[in-house]
Amino acid sequence: MVVTTEMVMTHTYFRHARLLDPANGLDQVGDLCTENGRILTFGAAIGVPEGAEIIECDGAVLCPGLVDMRVSLGEPGYEYRETIATAAQAAAAGGITTLAALPDSRPAIDDPALVRLLRARGEETGSLTILAYAALTRGCRGEELAELGLLREAGAVAFTDGCQAIASTRLMRLALTYARGFGAMVVVHPEEASLAAGGAATEGELATRLGLPGIPAVAEAIVIARDIRLARLTGGAVHFAHVSTAESLMLIRRAKDEGLAVTCDTAPPYFDLNETAIGDFRTYAKLSPPLRREEDRMAIAAGLVDGTIDAIASDHQPRDADDKRLPFAQAAAGGSGLVTLLGITLAQVHNASLPLARAIELLTSRPAKLLGSDAGTLARGAAADLCLFAPEHAWRVVAGELPGKAQNTPFDGRALEGTVLGTWKAGRRVFG
């Protein structure tokens, strides 16, 4: 007797969507069809396969699932703040299907087995690909380099010590040199630690009036200037995270013009909010780096348009209520950002500061390229990681009612336009 097995084809057909894929220059109204978790075809009148599930998009935007290149997961070690499962829930609600997880957990991700574990835990969620950053130094303590080669071999996409810069210039030089040998970039939290120590807000008139210890804005530029010089010296690739000041952008722009391997990202608070958001000592708005002056915010918004900034990341830093329910100077810095990543970015589109295609590029193909991921595209044959959103649909951010565990949003009470209607991971609907 001959036994034959026939593969059952499963199709999902998205009808009448605005198909937006900056990676391939696609921006048209049409249909898209997936087959067994991959994009089969798209265009006008492509034909509905028999038995396909039909999603009526009614003109909503269908783009690649968002790629978030800076997320603290809380797990392992800080599960009371966030877990991988709750982060996956929030990510799906925000249209995010791929994220890069910081290594400053407990224990730090400085062991190849932990890199592999993070990736596996992402697969277990069924809704999220987790790309792992590995610790640049053992325990993220900034004292001696981790085993970069073994970590890269295990799948680490880049190296970073998370929310602290490497204080030792010599060690940073070695890090860039070794990382270059493995074809990896070093991701930097640009803040000179001794200048920032004990600070709670950007140094200036507002901090003085509120009686808060200040962090001079130049603390960011000092580290960026140093590491640009080291990138020039070593030929290594350095990426500056959550850039927040005009001076920083000026330095990065010059480095790019010189042809150095220098890139950067920013996060929504730094182009949407300024330091006045901490008025009345709102600890939800205590972030790292701290919110800046209005002229810095405007410079960051301009950097999104002119190409200086390479990606927008959520900079998701979950905090427990007890971390924030303290006097401002003692409260933990950090804000949740997975659910609001798209909506806050679209605010720049609605105020005519940022073209929609550029916004989606900064949230999809650009971070994917930096991370060496094949995500962030609607190309035929690509994984059907998709986000369907209504750009004009209004909603309100309410802390305590957001998907996921972390509720410490600096955007609490904010009205937004741009609602995620559905998220698909490998062709399977995981939200909406």
Residues in a beta bridge with 420: 389
- The Cα 377–Cα 62 span in angstroms is 11
Q: Are 268 and 240 in contact (CB under 8 A)?
A: no
Asked whether residue 359 is domain-assigned, the answer is yes
Which of 68, 315, 323, 412 is flagged as catalytic?
Answer: 315
Q: Residue 264: give the domain boundaries.
A: 65-376
Q: Is residue 333 part of a domain?
A: yes
Query: What total number of domains does the chain contain?
Result: 1
The verdict on residue 22 lying in a domain is no
In a domain, 264, yes or no: yes
Residue 412 domain-assigned? no
Q: How many CB atoms lie within 10 A of CB 412?
A: 18
Among the listed residues 271, 340, 330, the one whose alpha carbon sits nearest the alpha carbon of residue 90: 340
CATH of the domain at 257: 3.20.20.140
Name the nearest CA neighbour of 332 among 102, 81, 141, 103: 81
In a domain, 18, yes or no: no
**Cα–Cα–Cα angle for 19, 130, 117, rounded to 5 degrees:** 155
Residue 422 maps to a domain = no
Q: Verify whether residue 257 is a known catalytic residue.
A: no
Its pTM stands at: 0.96
37 within domain boundaries: no
What tens-digit pLDDT sequence spans the chain (432 residues)?
444 445 678 999 999 999 999 999 999 999 999 999 999 999 997 999 999 999 999 999 999 999 999 999 989 999 999 999 999 999 999 999 999 999 999 999 999 999 999 999 999 999 999 999 999 999 999 999 999 999 999 999 999 999 999 999 999 999 999 999 999 999 999 999 999 999 999 999 999 999 999 999 999 999 999 999 999 999 999 999 999 999 999 999 999 999 999 999 999 999 999 999 999 999 999 999 999 999 999 999 999 999 999 999 999 999 999 999 999 999 999 999 999 999 999 999 999 999 999 999 999 999 999 999 999 999 999 999 999 999 999 999 999 999 999 999 999 999 999 999 999 999 999 999
